[in-house]
């Protein structure tokens, strides 16, 4: 579940203009269609509610709005970022279980929206991004965008009405991918962006140091869902994310780096 965000002017520029479809860099130079489908072996199984929704073509199209994603630093850094992103979205959308065919980490992108949400995720105290009556801001998309204060700025940045039409995140494949990439690339003060953490641009504050928020994959988990998963010894959700990351890092032939979990980190 993602938490409070803001939008970046550069992201707005890239995503609201048609130029976003014509960047020279393509994620396909690292992640081919064949590799994508070998990673997500079961995403289009009949049992998966997201069957045929999270297409490779939509991902490539969406990624062109974020030219720094998977395109910053040396080749190992670029591969590690893609592996980390795929790991986090795989956990958020997994349909796997311990004894699943091909293992529990072959079942990412099975779900496109939260199952049995406990609320409509409307923060009525947030007057900047007021909820639309009757709308649910439950988790949707690869990174399970949640809450009105995320749907509002995501829609503003990406060019859709997130408050009045949140359903589009689970109805339009390109927009769905864009919301996940937007969250990944966007700084959420006091949180850094996942992108800056994984490429080595994260500069911890005194508060971060005191909270043991160290650089690594665990900090990405803290950014995405730290309030529910971090500061908890051996949380199963955290280790599911790590399992995906280890699989994908191996596929891309890069190391995972240190600090994979967030069990000793305080949430933001």
Q: Where are the beta strands (DSSP E) in 89-231?
A: none
The whole-angstrom separation of Cα 46 and Cα 27 is 28
Catalytic residue among 81, 92, 113, 114: 92
Write the secondary structure of 208-236 as one string of H (helix), E (strand) and C (coil).
Answer: HHHCCCCCCHHHHHHHHHHHHHCCCCCCH
Determine how many CB atoms are found less than 10 A away from the CB of residue 238.
24
Which of helix, strand or coil describes residue 140?
Answer: strand
The whole-angstrom separation of Cα 206 and Cα 184 is 23
Q: Could you confirm whether 92 is annotated as catalytic?
A: yes
What are 74-77's contacts with CB under 8 Å, separation 24+? Answer: 76/254, 76/255, 77/198, 77/199, 77/200
Asked whether the beta carbons of 184 and 193 are under 8 A apart, the reply is: yes
The CA-atom distances, in angstroms, between 7 and each of 54, 163, 168, 186, 187 are 24, 15, 19, 6, 8
Q: Which residues participate in catalysis according to the annotation? A: 92
């Amino acid at each position: 579940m993602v938490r409070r965000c803001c939008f970046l002017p550069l992201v707005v520029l890239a995503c609201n203009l048609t130029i976003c479809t014509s960047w020279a860099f393509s994620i396909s130079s690292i992640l081919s269609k064949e590799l994508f489908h070998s990673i997500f072996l079961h995403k289009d199984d009949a049992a998966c509610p997201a069957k045929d929704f999270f297409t490779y073509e939509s991902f490539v199209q969406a990624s062109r709005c974020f030219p720094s994603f998977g395109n910053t630093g040396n080749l190992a850094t670029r591969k590690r970022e893609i592996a980390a992103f795929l790991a986090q979205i795989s956990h958020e959308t997994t349909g796997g279980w311990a004894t699943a065919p091909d293992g529990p980490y072959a079942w990412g992108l099975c779900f496109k929206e939260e199952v049995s949400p406990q609320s409509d995720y409307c923060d009525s105290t947030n007057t900047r991004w007021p909820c639309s009556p009757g709308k649910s801001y439950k988790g949707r998309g690869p990174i399970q965008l949640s809450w009105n204060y995320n749907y509002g700025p995501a829609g503003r940045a990406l060019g859709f009405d997130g408050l009045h039409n949140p359903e589009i995140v689970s109805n339009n494949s390109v927009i769905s991918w864009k919301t996940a990439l937007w969250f990944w690339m966007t700084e959420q003060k006091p949180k850094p962006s996942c992108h800056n953490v994984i490429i080595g641009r994260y500069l911890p504050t005194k508060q971060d140091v005191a909270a043991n928020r160290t650089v690594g994959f665990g900090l990405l988990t803290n950014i995405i869902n730290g309030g529910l998963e971090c500061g908890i010894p051996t949380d199963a959700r955290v280790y599911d994310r790590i399992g995906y990351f280890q699989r994908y890092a191996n596929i891309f032939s890069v190391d995972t780096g240190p600090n994979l979990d967030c069990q000793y980190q305080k949430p933001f």
